[in-house]
Amino acid sequence: MPLLKKSSSHSVLPREEDEVPSGPLSGPSSIEWRRQRLLQIGSANAEDEQAPLRPALDARAASYGTIPHPSGTKSGKQKSTFRNRHGLGTLPSILIPGGRHTNPPTPSLISPRSLRTSTYFAGQRPISAYDRPNGKDVLPPEGAVKTNGVRVWYSSFTSIDWLHDSIKDSARKARLRRHKSRRGRLRRQFDRTLGWVVVTIIGFLTAVIAFLIVRGEQWLFDIKEGYCTTGVWKAQRFCCPVTDDTVFAPRTPAFVTLSAEDACPAWRTWGDFFAPVPSPEGDGVEQQAIEYAVYAAIAILLAIISAVLTINLTASTSFVTRKDSGVLSSTFASGNDDQKLTDPPAGGSAPRKVLYYAAGSGIPEIKTILSGFVIHGYLGGRTLFTKSVGLALSVASGLSLGKEGPFVHIASCVGNIVSRFFSKYENNEGKRRGILSAACAAGVAVAFGAPIGGVLFSLEEVSYFFPAKVMWRSFFCAMVAAVTLRFLDPFGSGKLVLFQVTYDKDWHAYELIPFLLLAVFGGVYGALFSKLNYRWSRDVRNATWLKRYPIVEVILVTLVTALFSFTNPYTRMGGTELVYNLFAECRSGSANTHSGLCAMSVIQSIFVALLIKGALTIVTFGIKVPAGIFIPTLGVGACAGRILGVLIQWAQYRYPNNPAFAACQGDLNCVIPGLYAMVGAAATLSGVTRTTVSLAVIMFELTDTLTYAVPVMLSILVAKTIADALEPKGIYDLVIELSQLPYLDAKHEYLWGNLLINDVTDRDVDVIRVDRENTVKSLRDQLQFLVESGNSDSGFPILRPDEEGTRMVGYIGANELEHALSIVADDPDQPITFTAGSPHHGGPMASSISSLAETGSNFIGADPYDFSYYMDQAPLTVQDKSPLELVQQLFTKLGSRYVVVTDTDGHYEGVIDKKTWLAFLDELEHKTV
């Protein structure tokens, strides 16, 4: 066969290191290469071709969210679409520049010209091909698993094809079963154990990273107040060991302290360092002023560093991979356009939304990813580094936030990075999400020391698809993480988490009444917090000048936090330390007073801490630093529970003969305020996050007993019921709504009323007719028109006419069409064919086209201008008279990307893609509220 000739348009191609795809099943080429290839279609000089594929920068934006951002059409008229007809608003767009690539390109010096008479498909296939071949040999017919079109890659903010990934994994397993030799059996056994190896590595690495974060955060937090004279690198708890709870007088009430905690001589405060001899008339004011100044300065510095890292390293505009579509989502921004990347688009449309991947807890985004949407870079190495370092800095600054929630994001990053070293998970997004579910369980396990609770949290809160195999692997991954963290011992106490406590008393029946009061408080607080935080984020943070200056917001919040927290010992201490002291049981006569919490006079200080923590958390959660919500919420609930517990303890000590305390039988330590704190914390966290079973199990694992199962379960259920009545959505669902993440909630029930499928079917979607001539150039123009109409996550129905209408031939996705057109871009007038039942289509995975890319062998009928092997010949279809609940089940249970609507005779009516369905559900929900 003749060698490839260089294209006449080689002068406009990118640098030599840009990658040229080796064939239909090659990995993604660089987006700049694809852009230039598509620009040159129909033009002798691609540099002169600036429209319509390269609009002005202020008019280009990739869609992000439930509803894509519509822009102008090629005819200058706005096309009537489903969203326009129903008056659905547009969402802010996210700009993805063509700047930094996470996958380095591979050198290439040639450009394809004539594909029918070349060895174009014989080149070595580049890395990261999604539907990569599983081998060079062809499966025999009896061992083959039929596929239904190929997928090239998934761009950012598009949904994955669960059905395709499931079929592809079946094909992979079929090929493994074909080999009957000893080597084949060993390969099958390795394939079965590979998942366990992967989750083991993930659990181990997650625990190591958690250990480093905890140790770093402890030292950074304490350095605000002073340093250890025996070792500057030591945190205060390692410099000053905690006094043991030695019991001296068992008959003494627990809140009567026999000895105060001694000061630690090895710990030197900054006030003592800068003013070692206080003035007689100053009464220590000078030292306190110095301590506050140093405390505030270091806190602001730590918060600024965390915010700078988050904003500069994890802005969504800085994440571009070769898997992002050059036409669909990259906006073709060049290096000279950097200064305009965040400018609002022209025409008065909504300003572009820039996301910061390391900010917040990450759980809402993880839920969205596990539901089947792709966000490139969100689980990458750069995000992992920034999230880990920024989390230690932000928590150490003293802000009212926690590190437990972000551990789920960190563990998911580890899971994503580790899984990409194994093609079994790298090239199957569906199976990779099973690994991410296991990683989420490991994140909760290291956050709370609760491996079983981690598995249930992954099942209840974040995972979308959770079969039995994923549950077992999640449990194993969480166990490995917990065991590893136990050996590392981050707190030097043998505990996985600082606030792990044990009680030696049982609860009594009369205590159910105060437990119910705490449950009511938790539900009311949870609903109130969710509403106020949502409105603060929507009306203040995103609607004022704070949106343009996120670092200034971080400085202001940190300054206010330092101002209100410094004078109160319970707001000044770390969140986990506060929760531990509130949970702790005051041992009779113990020298450890748990920061004075064993005294009656401390109620006022705890109440002030409750108010300050609650108010600061409302304005803190959502700033541009890594931040969790678990610990601040537990702190607020624990403060309320501790206050109520101390009051009841005092009442029992004051009136021991009251019939209400008859069960105590004269025991002065009958009431445990720490138990009330734990119940209040569980109720409050349930009210905020709406978790139930997993939260109860986490609390059981924290106390190492099931003795308090009834109080904890009762408080959680009552709190969630009250919170749901006041505010139907928890904080994570509100963040998803605020960020407009494309999340389809499979647990939500909708009232369809008299609505029909016709009310949601998009009949204006552009189609490809096989009875008309479809050239490379005409399909390129159709592809651009699809992008400009805001449907970058969809594709084209392929139709053929019959006597009474049109029937489906297949469906081709936008990514697949872009990839195919970039290969054949040198022949703009060449006709493209779509053949139903083509000899290559539906063949065994890893045969035919797949083996062609590796072996260079040709096969009968191989035609690069036949796009049939990219086509889905059996898309899911529903009749136009089907109930809407059927469509909901197709999207949630089968994971479909699109559903084709036909009439009773099988004629094509329209398409419902996933984002259109989400927009419809959002409109339906707002109508029923």
Q: Whole-prediction pTM value? A: 0.84
To 5 degrees, how large is the angle CA 910–CA 912–CA 915?
A: 145
Helix (H, G, I), strand (E, B) or coil at 373: strand
Contact 841, 871 (CB under 8 A): yes
Q: Extract the tokens encoding 206.
A: 């997650």
pLDDT tens digits for 871-916?
888 888 999 888 999 999 999 888 888 999 999 888 999 999 888 8
Report the C-alpha gap between 246 and 631 in whole angstroms: 28
Report the C-alpha gap between 343 and 352 in whole angstroms: 8
| Model pLDDT, residue 282 | 53
Report the C-alpha gap between 668 and 882 in whole angstroms: 68
Mean pLDDT of the chain: 78
Helix (H, G, I), strand (E, B) or coil at 757: helix
- What crossing angle do the helices spanning 776-788 and 814-823 adopt, rounded to 10°? 140
Report the C-alpha gap between 475 and 899 in whole angstroms: 35
Detail the DSSP E strand segments found in 225-301: 226-228, 267-269
Q: Which residue has the tokens 């099958």?
A: 188
> How far, in Å, are 40, 74, 115, 489 from residue 43 at the CA level?
5, 17, 19, 66
Detail the DSSP E strand segments found in 133-203: none
Helix (H, G, I), strand (E, B) or coil at 768: strand
Helix (H, G, I), strand (E, B) or coil at 704: coil
Report the C-alpha gap between 779 and 821 in whole angstroms: 8
Which of 285, 359, 311, 295 lies closest to 561 in space, CA to CA?
295
CA 296 from chain centre, in angstroms, equals: 32
What stretches in the chain show pLDDT beneath 50?
1-18, 46-79, 82, 88-127, 134-145, 244-261, 326, 328-352, 839-861
pLDDT tens digits for 152-201?
878 888 888 888 888 888 888 888 888 888 888 898 899 899 999 999 99
286: β partners: none
Contact 424, 187 (CB under 8 A): no
Which of 506, 517, 550 lies closest to 669 in space, CA to CA?
506
| Model pLDDT, residue 69 | 38
| Model pLDDT, residue 150 | 81
Q: Extract the tokens encoding 144.
A: 């083959």
Contact 163, 151 (CB under 8 A): no
Mapping DSSP onto H, E and C, the string for 471-540 reads HHHHHHHHHHHHHHHHHHCCCCCCCCCCCCCCCCCCCCHHHHHHHHHHHHHHHHHHHHHHHHHHHHHHHH
Give me the torsion for CA of 396, 402, 404, 410, rounded to 10°.
Answer: -60
Q: Which region holds residue 740: left if phi is over 0, alpha if psi is between -120 and 50, else beta? A: left
Report the C-alpha gap between 40 and 47 in whole angstroms: 8
Contact 680, 484 (CB under 8 A): no
Report the C-alpha gap between 537 and 533 in whole angstroms: 6
| Model pLDDT, residue 380 | 92
